């Protein structure tokens, strides 16, 4: 299957949470880790998030460094990589920051269950890709994105989308920044939530590097294929 090279970047607390139990955003990364993330964004054809992250954090997903934006333009790319929201029911608010900041293509991936009036409203602002019946079929979406020229895809969560991609073997690398705070809370999201694997189904990743950064550490993992 021809699909983009796909990597997840996430930041978690030392107890393995990516936001509070109320899904409030926490500044886990420090300055250097945000710069590392910005550089990963800049080097990607597209950045993907789930609708849960849009509703919780309202990210813009733009490249923040002007130097990196200028470098992209010099190489003939848009300042902002393509931004993709995985949004089965087309719930993306029309007032989202993603529509206000940055430029370039925005893709909303929906399923056939999305109400047509919502899809029509979003069509004014984004390219709509329909894949799957009840929820977005991530394998089909990956194929379509590859056909559209997206060869390097950065995924910025959240917990449910990460599970959807990893459980379908669609992830090649994971960057995990581990920060120095404890968030706690039984219901607080972790880097990968969803249904979870059974004991005999676990996916393995190989540790490629570990670097002390800010008040924490960043790990790079690559998928071990069976």
Ligand X SMILES: Nc1nc(O)c(N)c(N[C@@H]2O[C@H](COP(=O)(O)O)[C@@H](O)[C@H]2O)n1
Ligand Y SMILES: NC(=O)C1=CN([C@@H]2O[C@H](COP(=O)(O)OP(=O)(O)OC[C@H]3O[C@@H](n4cnc5c(N)ncnc54)[C@H](O)[C@@H]3O)[C@@H](O)[C@H]2O)C=CC1
Give the interface with ligand Y as residue ranges (CB under 6 A). Answer: 10-11, 18-19, 23, 25, 28, 49-53, 56-57, 86, 88, 135-136, 138, 156-161, 164, 189, 193
Query: Using the rule CB under 6 A, is 8 a contact of ligand X?
Result: no
For residue 20, what are the CA distances in angstroms to 14, 157, 158? 13, 15, 13
Under 8 Å between Cβ of 131 and 109: yes
> Binders of ligand X among 47-66, rule CB under 6 A?
49, 53, 57, 59-62
The DSSP line for 140-168 is: HHHHHHHHTT--EEEE---HHHHHHHHHT
Question: How many Å apart are CA 218 and CA 226, to the nearest integer?
Answer: 26
Q: Which does 62 bind (CB under 5 to 8 A by kind): ligand Y, ligand X, none?
A: ligand X
Question: Of 133, 152, 132, 29, whose CA–CA distance to 84 is shortest?
Answer: 152
Residue 58: CB partners within 8 Å, gap ≥ 6?
A: 96, 97, 98
The number of residues that bind ligand X (CB under 6 A) is 18
Under 8 Å between Cβ of 177 and 11: yes
Q: Which does 60 bind (CB under 5 to 8 A by kind): ligand X, ligand Y, none?
A: ligand X
User: Which of 87, 137, 156, 172: binder of ligand X (CB under 6 A)?
Assistant: 156
User: Which of 8, 17, 28, 155: binder of ligand X (CB under 6 A)?
Assistant: 28
Q: Which does 159 bind (CB under 5 to 8 A by kind): ligand Y, ligand X, none?
A: ligand Y
Site string for ligand X, 75-114 (x = CB under 6 A): ----------------------------------------
List residues near ligand X by CB under 6 A: 9, 11, 25-29, 37, 49, 53, 57, 59-62, 156-157, 177
């Amino acid at each position: 299957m021809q699909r983009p090279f796909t990597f997840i970047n996430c930041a978690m607390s030392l107890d393995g949470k990516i936001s509070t139990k109320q899904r409030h955003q926490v500044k886990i990364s420090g300055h250097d880790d945000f710069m590392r993330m910005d550089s990963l964004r800049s080097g990607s054809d597209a950045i993907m998030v789930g609708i849960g992250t849009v509703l919780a954090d309202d990210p813009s997903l733009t490249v923040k460094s002007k130097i990196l934006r200028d470098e992209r333009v010099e190489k003939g790319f848009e300042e902002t990589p393509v931004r993709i929201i995985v949004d089965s029911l087309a719930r993306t608010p029309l007032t989202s920051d993603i529509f206000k900041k940055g430029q370039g293509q925005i893709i909303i991936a929906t399923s056939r269950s999305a109400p047509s009036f919502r899809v029509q409203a979003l069509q004014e602002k984004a390219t709509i890709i329909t894949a799957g019946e009840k929820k977005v079929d991530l394998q089909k979406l990956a194929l379509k994105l590859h056909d559209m020229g997206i060869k390097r895809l950065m995924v910025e969560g959240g917990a449910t989308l990460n599970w959807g991609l990893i459980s379908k073997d669609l992830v090649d690398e994971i960057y995990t920044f581990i920060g120095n705070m404890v968030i706690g809370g039984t219901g607080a999201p972790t880097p990968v939530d969803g249904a979870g694997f059974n004991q005999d189904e676990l996916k393995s990743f190989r540790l490629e590097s570990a670097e002390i950064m800010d008040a924490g550490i960043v790990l790079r993992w690559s998928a071990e294929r069976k």
